[in-house]
Amino acid sequence: MSNQDIKPETAERLNGLICQFVGSSEAYYKETFGYMMQAPGYRFTLNWIAGLLGPVWFGARGLWNWMLGFLLLETMAYIQIGLGLFGDLGRDFRERADQIVQTLDLRRQQIEAAEKSGASSLDSLKRAAESLEGALANAQQAAISADSTGTYFLIVGIVLLAGFKFLQAATANWTLEMQFAKWRSDREVNSGWSQTRMIISAILSFGVVVLTSIKFAQPGAFSILSVFPTDRNWRLNVGDGVQTAFDWTKLHGRGFFDSITFGMRTLLDWIEVVLVDTPWPVVAFVIVMLAFLSAGARVATFTGAALAYLGLLDFWEKAMTTIALLGAAALISITLGIPLGIFCARRPKVYAVIRPILDFMQSMPSFVYLIPVVAFIGSGKPAGVVATMIFGSPPVIRFTVLGLQQVPETVREAALAFGATPRYLLWRVDLPLARNTIMAGVNQTILLSLAMVVVASLIGAKGLGEDVLEALQYAAAGQGILAGLAILFCALILDRIVAGKK
């Protein structure tokens, strides 16, 4: 729809908004936006000022995402131009030639000594020297050839820069018009031409282009561009401080950590009595019946076949040990995670504090968990339970919060209107409606816990992870695949039982 098709007062108001938004060159943008609004989508226009200023224009307009993208593209072009104008293109070949010269000098000294002593290795040394002389000539020729390609880099850089400038000129009005559409509904969106933004984007663009061009064109000019300024003693001092903190915590928290170890070991012993010491037919029957009651006959059949695989290939005891370790970790994670998730869902400020901790727990590589766990708990199965619990806890907490936050507010208000107490609201409204989401979190916690099986075996957690670890150590691919499939079947059995019928 063009400005002519709009009612006069509407067109006048739109033009007023455009003038208020652009802040400069109002007549140009009123005409350009009017043309672009005639049809949805992209319409070709050229903003030569934007093309000339490049990323600076986009930064001054507050289009920072586009500014960063075009800055990276232009930097690639300026690198080519820098290589063509003052680049040391033959540097690598000359360094290679210098190394060959040093080796050749050594060989000549050896030849001279061999001639004086009449050594039998004289002929081989001469052949080696001749080979080095040929390699030196080739390296020198390659350096000359590389230096002569400067014009090619310059032309490529100019062509790329011209292409990127044209691209920016062709997209500038389109991106600004999209920004205008957002601004009309949200006045917090950047608008106008800001001198401050222009200066910031100009400084950033100049710094990125100059530093990058110098680094690629003259790699040895400024060592600070290649090596981050640091001091190795800083890391050593910080590491010593962390070690001191660990030692202090171990010394003063020995009773606490001993109680955790005792509790973990007791829980593991109980679960292992059920899974390992109980006759295997009973355990298999119970697991198959759980699968049948939870997910039906097909899953029960698969569970029986998977258990037969574990038994026939002599993985039964280790699989039950693995499931015991996993069960202890998952049980603790779920028992603590769901109440914590409920608490966080009702108190956003608490969740704002807990969420970075969960991000840290999920982002930290799993091997890193083993360091503090072994330092405080020691090695063995209790340490494996703690490491697995840390790795697997975040999903059940996050999904519990998500599920409760997604409960329709109208349903909660209706329950309150009928006199529901807070406890009734939680148990009879919130949790039933959030059940599917919470169970998805429980499922993720169990599977993530099982993913720690191999890692936990590094600290003596036993189970199927030991077989995988031994296969890696001795390159026993066949045994490793069989053990990996055993872990996979354990995961699938637990996943199907917990997921239930769908």
User: With helix as H, strand as E and coil as C, how does 25-69 read?
Assistant: CHHHHHHHHHHHCCCCCCCCCCCHHHHHHCHHHHHHCCCHHHHHH
Per-residue pLDDT tens digits for 187-225: 888 888 989 999 999 999 999 999 998 888 888 777 787
CA distance 83 to 91: 12
Report the distance separating Cα 162 and Cα 173, nearest Å. 18
CB atoms within 10 A of CB 41: 6
Amino acid in the structure at residue 291 = A
**pLDDT in the model for residue 70:** 94
Residue in 408, 389, 385, 365 with CA at minimum distance from that of residue 459: 385
pLDDT of residue 9: 43
Report the distance separating Cα 252 and Cα 230, nearest Å.
34
Q: Residue 91: what residue type?
A: R
3 C-beta neighbours (distance < 10 Å), count: 19
**CA distance readout (Å), 163 to 44, 144, 350, 375, 489:** 16, 30, 51, 58, 55
* pLDDT tens digit sequence for 307-344: 999 899 888 888 888 888 887 888 888 889 999 999 99
Three-state secondary structure of 140-157 = HHHHHHHHCCHHHHHHHH
CA distance 394 to 366: 13
Please report how many Cα atoms fall inside a 13 Å half-sphere around the Cα of residue 384, on the Cβ side: 31
> What are the start-end ranges of the E strands in 160-294?
none
- How many whole angstroms separate alpha carbon 284 and alpha carbon 166? 70
Q: What is the C-alpha to C-alpha distance for residues 443 and 499, in angstroms, rounded to an integer?
A: 7
Q: How many CB atoms lie within 10 A of CB 437?
A: 18
φ, ψ of residue 339 in degrees (nearest 5) = -60, -40
Compute the CA torsion angle 90, 96, 100, 101 (nearest 10 deg): 50
* Under-70 pLDDT residues of the chain: 1-10, 501-502
- CA distances (Å), origin 373, targets 246, 264, 314, 338, 439: 11, 13, 31, 23, 28
Do 307 and 276 meet the contact criterion of CB atoms below 8 Å apart? no
Kindly list the distances between the CA atom of residue 111 and the CA atoms of 118, 126, 134, 137, 306, in Å, as whole numbers in the listed order: 10, 7, 17, 20, 71
Q: C-alpha 127: how far from its chain's center?
A: 53
CB contact at 8 A, 465 and 455: yes
Reading the block at residue 181, the tokens are: 């559409």
Task: Note the pLDDT of residue 8.
Answer: 44
Nearest 5°: the CA angle 143, 144, 147 is 85
pLDDT at position 502 is 56
Q: What is the pTM of this model?
A: 0.69
Say which residue the tokens 């996943």 belong to.
495
Rounded CA-CA distance 97/83 in Å is 21
The one-character DSSP state at 428 is I
CA–CA dist 342, 402 (Å, integer): 10
- As given in the structure block, the two tokens for residue 191 are 């608008």
d(CA 420, CA 412): 9
Q: What does the buried/exposed string (b/e) look like for 181-208 if buried means 16 or more CB atoms within 10 Å of the residue's CB?
A: eebeeeeeeebeebeebbebbeebbeeb
